[in-house]
Structure 1
């Protein structure tokens, strides 16, 4: 597709869509301040998004896990205190003896285990960061879709209002001609009926716009509606250059990081014997009885798990399963990205052809409508034929507005597919 002609066509219709937006935009937007740009709207939606809280929580958890993996001990150290009174030696004074022991225990890393845990923790941090970026892009996609839904509904309101104004004027003209004896009363009734039908259509379009605006407020928490000019500007971006320069999209990057994370976890499990070895260093004081001198001794104890339990096998099987699932998800993410990118490019090309065809159709019907209006004014055609022509012309306007919004939405979805934030 010729991108130069694409950008030229977009510039031709950008003014129409922005004007239609401004016609139906609520007056409160001008009072409360400038319409929010997409970047600001994404920030606002991110603050309200449930997935944002999950993603941010994962980054905090991963960062804490990385600090733990870099620590001296494999787990939290523990302080133990033990005192025993009673018979240890036998004899008449044995019951008065006592033993007191205080020790500090450190869970230890096995050789190579700390490095494996650190690498696994770093991979976990990378996965959390990539998952955060992907979650933010998904929120941006919702904002873009909501903005274009408002654009389409706003264009509908503008077109419906234009049709109402025209049909009311036509009804007034018919009334005058009925009074002059040029037309019959039935023509006046038909014209008024069409004007009332147009008002009903306007009310439906306004209700749809209000619904889309309510969804925007729920999504972003903003009272101001999106900036029509900015979402139009996204349609003017040279997507070919963006696609050529784009790196790995967040969805694929998150899947790649998930594989690295699963590999790190599997390596860490293989290096582990289950519970970590534990080193205890303490002191013990023994007193045989009242008045007897106490004996102090240093106690050093090392406990090493054998690592032959079924639990270790279970952990390894679980880690291997997670790795297999992550690898399958990565392959699926790459295939999905290729398909989405190809579909987005095809959608833009199709939308461009439809937009050009609809623009030509609207121009021809507009010219025909003007000719028939002049013919009606001179009495050469009846009102029914004129109304049919006007209805076809209004339908063409309606269809063009939809094609323009669909074309812009196709661009927005391509930007989503390559991972570009507003």
Structure 2
């Protein structure tokens, strides 16, 4: 309940931060190539779908689809392999006797083998779809992280702009008072040092923001940024067995099981049916039968278990490896879920503290400003309080963004798409 209450409190601040982020930014200190534009109609799910199409793994996913189609075509075939045609001609040394043999040999499916091949095709198609869902979730994680990194860097940049503005106002005030003889000349140098430090902080904050925006364009291959991408926290308390990552590896295991069954059904090899005709003719040769005949035969291999066993064993090794990877993946997902859940609680508590610190720091800073104007404190004391106040304000704004980011990362951990 405490977490939900604090998450509700954070929403107005996040909306305020979003509105500030959409405001016209100040001119850059350093020129950057930044083609990103905010698109009010663009949704997070659309960004992820578009990024998925341009993701490097898309060619691999297409190849999985082609493989499944190829296996399906094999299962539709009436024969277990390529047929063979033969033609043999024989002539006696005298040239008066001719033999011609022609035939066709067709490999046959073993009992249940064709159904097993069709099962592999179905599992290959299912595995391809599961791999695509898993990759899409991975893309969603990259996009989510990139977007919230931009939001966090925007807050830091905006705060750096505000801090520089306050410092410049203080510098101008100190300069006037020095000119009037109210403050020593050293205070102008101190105020100028503080101003330059804030300018340096702003320059670095601007660079980090540009880096974050570049990472987003690199991931999405797009210059369009959604205006809204906050997510509702899903009501899942643990990793489900249909998590896209688990579903993907489960589909691989199921396919490998189907392949093992198909290998076993090969047995000692493919049986073959052979159909042919024979022609026996001669020219004034008493040895010739002067006949044509039809023949049919079946070849059935046997005793090949020892040769098939290594293929079965190799497939079982691959399946055992997949099962081990699944167990490790499940542990990793549970750990990621725990960290996401814990981060939500910790940052919600931290946000409450940060808000209180912000209020205290702002009140203290106002008091010290009056004291400085009245000559009760020196500039150094004011700058110390100002630094604490600015840090407290930034911390509160960051926590509001971090909580919203943690919601998205929690949804990512439990495998839920936007």
Using structure 1 for the length normalisation, give the TM-score. Answer: 0.88
CA distance in 2, matches of 1:318, 1:246: 31
Which runs of no fewer than 5 residues in structure 2 stay unpaired? Answer: 26-32
When residues 79 and 191 of structure 1 are mapped into structure 2, their CA distance, relative to the original with a 3 A threshold, is: same
Greater mean alpha carbon deviation, residues 354-363 or residues 277-286: 277-286
Aligned to 1:176: 176
Deviations 1:280-334 (A, max 9, x none): 3344444435999964333423222225264411111012112222222333333
CA distance in 2, matches of 1:139, 1:197: 38
SS at match of 2:57: helix
- Residue pair 1:66, 1:125 contacting (<8 A) in 2 also: no
Aligned to 1:215: 215
When residues 366 and 102 of structure 1 are mapped into structure 2, their CA distance, relative to the original with a 3 A threshold, is: same
SS at match of 1:97: strand
Aligned to 1:97: 98
Greater mean alpha carbon deviation, residues 329-338 or residues 369-378: 329-338
Shift of 1:144: 0.7
Aligned to 2:127: 127
CA distance in 2, matches of 1:393, 1:137: 40
Shift of 1:162: 0.8
CA distance in 2, matches of 1:51, 1:364: 51
Shift of 1:372: 0.8
1:277 and 2:283 aligned: no
When residues 286 and 343 of structure 1 are mapped into structure 2, their CA distance, relative to the original with a 3 A threshold, is: farther
Aligned to 1:266: 260
Structure 2 matches for 1:338-349, cutoff 5 A? 338-349=334-345
CA distance in 2, matches of 1:289, 1:416: 86
Greater mean alpha carbon deviation, residues 289-298 or residues 274-283: 289-298
What number of residue pairs does the alignment pair up? Answer: 409
- Residue pair 1:24, 1:158 contacting (<8 A) in 2 also: no
- Among 302, 325, 341, the alignment partner of 2:321 is 325
CA distance in 2, matches of 1:311, 1:24: 73
Deviations 1:337-363 (A, max 9, x none): 333222221111111111111121112
Structure 2 matches for 1:395-406, cutoff 5 A? 395-406=391-402
Aligned to 2:28: none
SS at match of 1:50: coil
Using structure 2 for the length normalisation, give the TM-score. Answer: 0.89
Structure number with higher helix proportion: 1
Aligned to 1:304: 300
Which runs of no fewer than 5 residues in structure 1 stay unpaired? Answer: none
- Among 72, 82, 85, the alignment partner of 1:80 is 85
Shift of 1:274: 5.1
CA distance in 2, matches of 1:29, 1:340: 31
- Residue pair 2:134, 2:245 contacting (<8 A) in 1 also: yes
